[in-house]
Amino acid sequence: VVFSNLHSPPIDQLTARSSPLQIFRSVDRLINMGRGKIEIKRIENKTSRQVTFCKRRNGLLKKAYELAILCDAEIALIVFSSRGRLYEFSNVNSTRSTIERYKKASASTSGSAPVIDVNSHQYFQQEAAKMRHQIQTLQNANRHLIGESIGNMTAKELKSLENRLEKGISRIRSKKHELLFSEIEYMQKREADLQNENMFLRAKVAEAERAEHDDQQAAEDDEMAPAPAVGGGSSSGTELEALPATFDTREYYQPAPPVSMLAAAAAAAAAQYSSDHHQTALHLGYFKVDSGKGGLL
């Protein structure tokens, strides 16, 4: 089977011995035969843009794989989606090794004049334009949310904006009520804890006051209790009742004299004894024996 047209080279004849690569090329050419020229510009529809990105990305990875196989070239491919997701391809150990090789190669030619890539310059210009467009869109959306720059909006756009604002206000109120309920629940729990702590402290204070009152009562009872008898025995109730009404303890209890007074009294008694003994001896000196009478004179 041969496929050919006026604008593309003839397609190889497919047979039972055709390789998968030949079949793939023939099918790819057949698919691209009826396509017209596509204008290269940013796709505004987000869904279409994502679908196109997936298709083109797969095609780019496939082309890189084919080029690496057919030409035995070292290829590293890095792709970042609009959402920041990374896609990479390398026919060697890793993409990093290819990047390191590129750095070494570019460092060896650093003495030469820098080469400006026109395609890269155009790419960055397009990216800058897209970023400016996104910033302008976000600024307009913010103005619409606060009621500014709505003079050129249609009734349908105003209705859509109103619905968005109502939904946003509803979510804000729901979140506010949730926070308020949570705060109230916390305060109620805190109040219960404080009440329990207050009751515990009151019980502690009452217990301390009761213990202090008991100690004071015991001290008063000890002060009012009668003193024990001096001889080691205890006075009975009948002995206390037998005492006269005008009983005065001062008449029965005299304090012991000081030690100095006792010493002075003992010295005086010793001196008196010594004087009496001396006088007796003197008197004995005047006695004489009467031998006739057999006695003392």
Residue scoring higher pLDDT (148 or 6): 148
Instruction: Tell me which amino acid residue 52 is.
Output: T
- Report the pLDDT averaged over residues 269-273: 61
Q: Is the backbone of residue 279 left (phi > 0), alpha (psi -120 to 50) or beta?
A: alpha
Cα 20–Cα 25–Cα 78 angle in degrees, nearest 5: 95
Confidence at residue 297, expressed as pLDDT on a 0 to 100 scale: 47
Spacing of C-alpha 280 from chain mean position? 111
pLDDT digits (tens, 9 = 90+) for 94-145: 888 888 888 888 777 665 545 555 567 788 888 899 999 999 989 988 888 8
Helix (H) and strand (E) counts in the chain: 8, 4
Domain spans, the chain: 42-113
Residue scoring higher pLDDT (275 or 206): 206
Confidence at residue 122, expressed as pLDDT on a 0 to 100 scale: 81
Rounded alpha-carbon distances, angstroms, from residue 62 to 83, 89, 91, 245, 268: 22, 10, 12, 133, 143
Characterize the bridge pairing of strands 86-90 and 289-290.
Answer: unpaired
CATH code: domain 42-113 is: 3.40.1810.10
Task: State the Cα–Cα distance between residues 144 and 269, nearest whole angstrom.
Answer: 129
Task: State the Cα–Cα distance between residues 100 and 227, nearest whole angstrom.
Answer: 109
Residue 7 confidence (pLDDT) above 50: no
Confidence at residue 178, expressed as pLDDT on a 0 to 100 scale: 94
* Mean pLDDT, all residues of the chain: 74
pLDDT digits (tens, 9 = 90+) for 23-57: 666 666 665 655 556 677 888 888 888 888 899 99
